Structure 1
Amino acid sequence: MVIEIDFNSDEAIYVQLMNQIILGIATSRLQEGDTLPSVRQMADTIGINMHTVNKAYTLLKQEGFVSIDRRRGAVVAIDVDKIKALEEMKQNLVVALAKGCCKEVSRQEVHQLIDEIFDDYDL
């Protein structure tokens, strides 16, 4: 899996890394049981600090996308707590939709955008 980090972005590097891994899972480039590179390997590959990778992996674990095993490292292990996932999604969408409303984005445009995004996922 290729991780693309934008070092000029205002978004924190650990957040970008987390999002890339989540997108990899959603698009089936990463499967349940796949082992992620070690913290050191990931840091060396991307050219970032090991603590940044560790923070991303820890948050991915807290959010139920990976499990951490001392022998295997970070392993994709999806926590299927759908109610929790829907609540988190709602919180994120409230702000995103408010921004869209301020820019006069229509309901139809939002639905079309969501459909386009969902088409990329293997559901």
Structure 2
Amino acid sequence: MFIELDLQSETPIYAQLVDQIVEGIASGELKRGDPLPSVRRLAEELGINLHTVNKSYNLLKQEGFLQVHRKQGVIVHPDGMPGVTEAFEAKLQRQLRSLAAEAAVRGMTEEAFTEESRSVYRDTITNRGGG
């Protein structure tokens, strides 16, 4: 699993980790039932605090992306990912509203914003199974 964190970013490290694991699942790099490194091992590999990794894993578990087993450790949820929930739709709208507002303030047209969104979505899906 390839994780690249930007320690200088305004985005918290735990959020970057969550995003990259979800992107790995979306791209097909991480598949149902795939094991993830233990909290301690991933923290050591990335050079970050183990509580940061634990927070990321817990959030992903709450969202239904991961399962934690005593014997198997942390794995990508074997039953597939959660569907579109009201909570997800609300989160999506909040994040898109913020991005759309910034795009508008910067002078980006609605068409350009829409096309950029499509491009990012398609690139994520196109990379499934590829690396």
TM-score with structure 1 setting the length: 0.90
8 A contact 1:66–1:76 mirrored in 2? yes
CA distance in 1, matches of 2:69, 2:83: 19
How far does residue 12 in structure 1 lie from its aligned partner after superposition? Answer: 1.2
Given residue 83 of structure 2, which amino acid in structure 1 is its aligned partner? V
- Deviation of the 1:82 alpha carbon: 4.0
In the other structure, the counterpart of 1:103 is 106
Q: List gaps (5 residues or longer) in structure 1.
A: none
1:78-111 CA-partner distances (Å, limit 9, x unpaired): 2224443223211211111111111121111011
1:94 aligns with 2:80: no
Runs of 4+ displaced beyond 3 Å: 81-84
Q: Distance in 1 between matches of 2:46 and 2:6?
A: 11
**Counterpart residue identity of residue 109, structure 1:** A
Q: Which residue of 1 aligns with 2:7?
A: 7
How many residues are paired up? 123
SS in 2 for 1:75: strand
Cα distance, 1:32 vs structure 2: 1.6
Q: Given residue 120 of structure 2, which amino acid in structure 1 is its aligned partner?
A: I
Contact persistence 1:31–1:76 (CA under 8 A): yes
Q: CA deviation at 1:20?
A: 0.9
